[in-house]
Amino acid sequence: MTPNELSQAIRTRLHPRPYYKDIQPSGGFDFMIMRSSLLVCGHYAFGFRQLGSVSVADAYRDAVSEARRLTKAIWLIREVGMYFMFCGPESSWRDHIQEGVTAKTGLHSLIVQAVHFVDPETGANHLNRSAWGSIKFGGLIPIPKMVEEVIGAIGEG
């Protein structure tokens, strides 16, 4: 599977359900989609980005900055739970997964709930997911499971 095919497969699986709002990224993401929860201030977003020649740390930092701007995240007023997926050869991210930092608390405007690294050719992947003990961030919709379904199909076709 190519990075573009993976991007399209993930997008198709998650949009328009459960993420119904399409946000037009300005360059850092292949796509970004969003949804609101039943709570007035609860918003969730998913951003997909191919790893290029920049380091994982730089890609992550740029993604957080752009996501905060695109989602209009504001602490206590419009907090956004974010799921990032970075796509690239395993060799480019395998030794740098610790740089995909998830939130330790929910006290941010953009709460990074998960950072998923995926090799679109082999299906190798790693998920950093934020949790408080056995309670995992991410709402009631099992986004990691939905993403795993798509990743599991790599190499089958």
Question: Whole domain around residue 77: which residue ranges?
Answer: 3-152
Domains of the chain: total: 1
Q: Is residue 90 part of a domain?
A: yes
Q: Is residue 157 part of a domain?
A: no
| Token pair listed for 102 | 């998830």
pLDDT in tens, the chain (157 residues): 899 999 999 999 999 999 999 998 777 799 999 998 766 667 999 999 999 888 999 999 999 999 999 999 988 888 899 999 999 999 999 999 999 999 887 778 999 999 999 999 999 999 999 876 666 666 567 899 999 999 998 866 5
Sheet holding 110-118, edge to edge: 21-23, 31-36, 42-50, 79-87, 110-118, 125-129
Q: Is residue 108 part of a domain?
A: yes
Q: What contacts 120, CB < 8 A, 6 or more positions away?
A: 1, 2, 3, 5, 6, 87, 88, 154
Q: Is residue 100 part of a domain?
A: yes
